[in-house]
Amino acid sequence: MKRKAFTLIELLVVIAIIAILAAILFPVFAQAKTAAKRTSELSNLKQVGIGALLYSGDFDDVFPMHAHWNTEGKDIVNGYSPWAVRIAPYLKSTPILRSPLDSFSHVDNKDGWLGPTLSLAANTLAGGPEFTAGNSLRGPIGFDMSQWGGPTNSMSQTQVTLVAETIMFGPKYSNDLAKIAGGNAWGGAANVAYYVPSSTFLWDCEPEAKADGCYYTGIGGNGDTWQAGGIPNGARTEAAYPTGKNGGVSTTDKGTPANFTFTDGHAKSMRPGATNPDGVRQPAKNMWDALR
């Protein structure tokens, strides 16, 4: 008996069904992969938070400080003393400072002096809408601002008023910094350990301050990258990174949550705008302000 072959119509129907199934399943697989990477990043941030707490346990309960220009004379690495280098001995491995969600492929040391490429930044909030000399320290991780007349110390955990609701670290991807117009001239368009605006969240911008959000051009001509030092502000209008509601916090897409570490050591996912709904009208809800 002669076997009947597939007709052209039947073959096209089968191909169409396969194409439909692929169109349905591939986005699901992609979402699952992103979710797995986000979970891995959350674990990394948890470990980094524990590293910072272990550091503080050895230094009179004081969190690490980010000394960009190193005026304090200790923990010296290539003339700098960034927070990531301070806590590195307390981490199981330094690659946890990079996120699987950060697609930036350059993981070298940026010619040495700028340090390793990172995918997160520390909360070094230093007061008002834009950085000005003399602003008081509001973030738990310190920032050496002796050049500009600001604080040169970190907080202790006991100083933080709401330890379970105050952010210590959040994601800031090198991939995002590389897309900013003007780039990061010093950091090679990457988030690097020794460069202040890359590896820190430094200020809160009032939504009325400027149309383009948080912008500072006073240092080194790298104003575009200094923008990324801004924390989220839910009252800000939507705009391209890093001038929108998310500030310098990186997410996989608009409206998606980001992972954060808090000063008591726990880590969880939140929408960035929810961490600071309105820095002007609701300062008590600003999770970046350790003294609120």
User: Is the confidence at residue 129, as pLDDT, over 60?
Assistant: no
Position 122 pLDDT exceeds 60: yes
Of 55 and 104, the one with more pLDDT = 55
Closest CA to 290 of 152, 127, 57: 127
Rounded-to-integer distance, Cα 201 and Cα 145, Å: 14
CB 216 within 8 A of CB 227: yes
Place of tokens 């820095």: 279
> What is the structure's pLDDT at 77?
46
What's phi and psi for 59, nearest 5 deg? -130, 55
The edge-to-edge listing of strands for the beta sheet with 120-123 is 200-201, 120-123, 167-171, 258-262, 267-270
Nearest to 242 by CA among 184, 186, 185, 292: 184
**Short-list 14, 166, 154, 171, CA closest to 102:** 171
Question: Helix, strand, coil: what percent of the chain each, to 5?
Answer: 30, 10, 55
**Phi, psi (5° rounding) for residue 80?**
-130, 165
Kindly report, residue by residue over 197-244, the tens digit of the pLDDT.
778 898 876 554 444 444 444 333 444 566 788 899 888 878 778 878
Beta bridge partners of 169: 122, 261
Burial class (CB in 10 A: 0-12, 13-18, 19+), 206: middle
Bridge partners (DSSP) listed for residue 77: 80
* pLDDT tens per residue, range 14-51: 888 888 877 776 676 666 677 788 888 999 999 999 99
Tokens linked to 150? 């600001």
Q: How far apart are CA 88 and CA 41, in angstroms?
A: 17
Sequence ranges of the domains in the chain: 10-285
Task: Name the CA dihedral angle for 31, 36, 37, 39, rounded to a multiple of 10 degrees.
Answer: 120
The answer to whether 120 touches 171, Cβ cutoff 8 Å, is yes
pLDDT > 70 fraction of the chain, expressed in percent and rounded: 71
Per-residue H/E/C for 187-217: CCCCCECCCHHHHEECECCCCCCCCCCCCCC
How many helices (H) does the chain have, and how many strands (E)?
5, 7
Distance CA 126, CA 129 (A): 9
Mean pLDDT of the 101-121 span: 71
Contact 274, 234 (CB under 8 A): yes
Going by pLDDT thresholds of 50, 70 and 90, the confidence category of residue 190 is confident
Res 110: pLDDT: 46
0.75 exceeded by pTM: yes
Largest CA distance in the chain: 95
